[in-house]
Structure 1
Amino acid sequence: MQLATPHLTSNLTPQVGRRVSLRSSAALGWQGFGVEMLGIPAGEHRIPATTHHRIGVHVGTPVKARCLCDGRRVARIQAHGDADVIPAGLDGVWTDESDCTILRIWISDEFARTTAGQLHLNPARAHIRPQFQLRDRRLHYLVWALRAELEAEEASDALYAESLCTAVVVRLLEGAPEPDNRRRSLAPNAAARVIDFIESNIDKHLTLAELAALVDFSVPHFKVLFRETLGMPVHQYVIHRRVERAKTLLLQGRLSVTQIALEAGFAHQSHMAHWVQRLLGATPREIVKSGRDGLDDHRILPAGKA
């Protein structure tokens, strides 16, 4: 995956022309990757090489466009969902005949290398190759899910975005194996180790990498095993446990709502309120009141994507 290119820059958003950042994941606590919605004016844009891999996905009405990258000239009608995959170390020139919007995903080379290593791929063959006007249904599903996280009023736990980005890398890596859908599960002692760690660190920022390392599995493998064992993805399990912790503290009534949010691992009070309402069907204030009245009928409700 190493690309030897001089004059690399670590600038995640090369500013050429009048590109405008409409929305960014910078404040969401994602590590090793990010997502940004960019407004791109008509005209030519020279994008320098970076130390990150980039995926640019066209959003909205079709636009006539051209690009020069990796020694290739491509002229096309860029339609909604069309993606350009630009590996670290490649620069290029993109020309759009009309204003357009691009959803840009960046992935650090370290994140991609770690994922490739966990898949036990041959380092000489495991790489992300440049692709232009890519149309891949499974990749689109992952990209739009990341966009939904970017635009959500309250984003899910960062574990969910990490899981999506890991799947993006697996999809783009050359030589990555097709997923094995045979039913498997974590051994009971391994599952207990992961669950105990989550409970003991529920107030901290958890990552898939550290959870997978507890049981010596790759992140992609661990995600499958965890879901088969617990009946839900890792990020859903963690958000459910955060809500249960918050509920317990709210019923005890000894801490402020702000303190409880932090103790339960939420980013802030409104983040906690969103998930408590969604999973318990009640506001934090209503739960506090039920505790004072000696009532507690707030249980985790069936939920969709957490």
Structure 2
Amino acid sequence: MKSTFDQPSTLLRTLGGVTLLALEAPAGPFIVESTDRLSIILHRSASTRTYCKEIGRHFVRRVNDIDVVPAGEVGGYEAESDFNALMVSIPSWMIEEARGDIVEKQTLKARHLLRDHRIVQLVSILEMDRRSGFPSERLFIDGIAMAMTSRLLSLDRPPNYKAGRLSDRQLKRVLDYIEEHMDAQLSLDTLSKVAAVSSSHLRTWFKAATGSSVHRFVLRRRTERAREMLLETALSISEVAEMTGFANQSHLTQWMRRETGSTPRVIRKSR
């Protein structure tokens, strides 16, 4: 992503290539130049009067208004005052994966002043992770980005779209892989290859089969294994966190409290 202004920003870049920019933009031109990435801009200022040269009209952008700039297109506007925004940039391979086989020919459209609660929620989750020091792993970031891309595609999904499912054998392969690689940095890309489906289909079909997102399922299994290790071994809490795939002891504590209502220290003392 390139723009025509200098702005203080905080950048999140994951192994999958997803970026998050927290923008503090001055009045003037706000231009997103053509790249091979999808850009989603979430407006965070109360009220900003803007001018779109393409349409030749003024618009007022408010909190949670969304602009979408597809790969290969130029976007932006002229802002009459300073404003804040969050910009998520998603690599082209995720766009292709999100299209899947059924909507192979579907293209993302440029959008302005879009209002969509689901996209706002997903961008806000990434922003919360940024503010927390980025404790989440690639699987989590990949899932959020894929969900945003799929949501945009669904706005123009053809009426004959039909959802599929994972076979029992495919689901077993994914579950077995998760169990055998609990300490590793898992990603949707890796797990989709295990299942031999697209990342987009895995994300949707896994939840249909298990009632849980891939990321939440993995965290739940990691928490369960960590609890077993705390009760059955003499390993330190930090060692248990590392061996079960958590970023650190604090990350383990956060999710163990959320899943069990207790903490690693309390569980260790209950042996």
Gaps in structure 1 of 5+ consecutive residues: 1-11, 292-306
Instruction: Give deviations 1:243-288, integer Å, cap 9, x for gaps.
Output: 1121122223432322221110011221111112222222222222
Q: Superposed, which structure 2 residues align to 1:139-158 within 5 Å?
A: 139-152=119-132, 158=138
Counterpart of 2:6 in structure 1: which amino acid?
R
- Note if 1:52 corresponds to 2:40: no
**Could you say which residue in structure 1 is the equivalent of 2:12?**
25
**Could you say what secondary structure the match of 2:270 adopts?**
helix
Aligned residues: 270
**Could you say what secondary structure the match of 1:84 adopts?**
strand
**Could you say which residue in structure 2 is the equivalent of 1:302?**
none
**Could you say which residue in structure 1 is the equivalent of 2:101?**
119
Seen in structure 2, the aligned counterparts of structure 1 residues 231 and 110 have a Cα distance that, compared at 3 Å, is closer
**Could you say what secondary structure the match of 1:25 adopts?**
strand
- Note if 1:110 corresponds to 2:93: yes
Instruction: Give deviations 1:9-53, integer Å, cap 9, x for gaps.
Output: xxx4x36433111x4433xx4513222221112223444333322
Cα deviation, residue 194, structure 1: 1.5
Seen in structure 2, the aligned counterparts of structure 1 residues 217 and 232 have a Cα distance that, compared at 3 Å, is same
Q: Tell me, yes or no, if the aligned pair for 2:229 and 2:235 is still in contact at 8 Å.
A: yes
Q: Tell me, yes or no, if the aligned pair for 2:3 and 2:33 is still in contact at 8 Å.
A: no
TM-score using structure 2 length: 0.85
Seen in structure 2, the aligned counterparts of structure 1 residues 282 and 142 have a Cα distance that, compared at 3 Å, is closer
Q: Tell me, yes or no, if the aligned pair for 1:139 and 1:168 is still in contact at 8 Å.
A: yes
TM-score using structure 1 length: 0.76
**Could you say which residue in structure 1 is the equivalent of 2:184?**
204
Counterpart of 1:65 in structure 2: which amino acid?
T
Q: Superposed, which structure 2 residues align to 1:78-93 within 5 Å?
A: 78-92=61-75
Counterpart of 1:62 in structure 2: which amino acid?
S
Counterpart of 1:66 in structure 2: which amino acid?
Y
**Could you say which residue in structure 1 is the equivalent of 2:206?**
226
The alignment's C-alpha RMSD in Å is 2.9
Distance in 2 between residues matched to 1:20 and 1:227, nearest whole Å: 38
Counterpart of 2:35 in structure 1: which amino acid?
T
Distance in 1 between residues matched to 2:188 and 2:75, nearest whole Å: 34
User: Could you tell me the percent identity over the aligned residues?
Assistant: 29
**Could you say what secondary structure the match of 2:234 adopts?**
coil
Distance in 2 between residues matched to 1:154 and 1:25, nearest whole Å: 8
Seen in structure 2, the aligned counterparts of structure 1 residues 141 and 284 have a Cα distance that, compared at 3 Å, is closer
Counterpart of 2:20 in structure 1: which amino acid?
V
Q: Superposed, which structure 2 residues align to 1:1-306 within 5 Å?
A: 12=1, 14=2, 16-21=4-9, 23-26=10-13, 29=14, 31-68=16-53, 72-92=55-75, 94-116=77-99, 118-122=100-104, 125-152=105-132, 158-173=138-153, 176-177=157-158, 186-291=166-271
Gaps in structure 2 of 5+ consecutive residues: none
Counterpart of 2:33 in structure 1: which amino acid?
P
Seen in structure 2, the aligned counterparts of structure 1 residues 176 and 170 have a Cα distance that, compared at 3 Å, is farther
Distance in 2 between residues matched to 1:30 and 1:170, nearest whole Å: 20
Seen in structure 2, the aligned counterparts of structure 1 residues 88 and 154 have a Cα distance that, compared at 3 Å, is closer
Cα deviation, residue 138, structure 1: 4.2
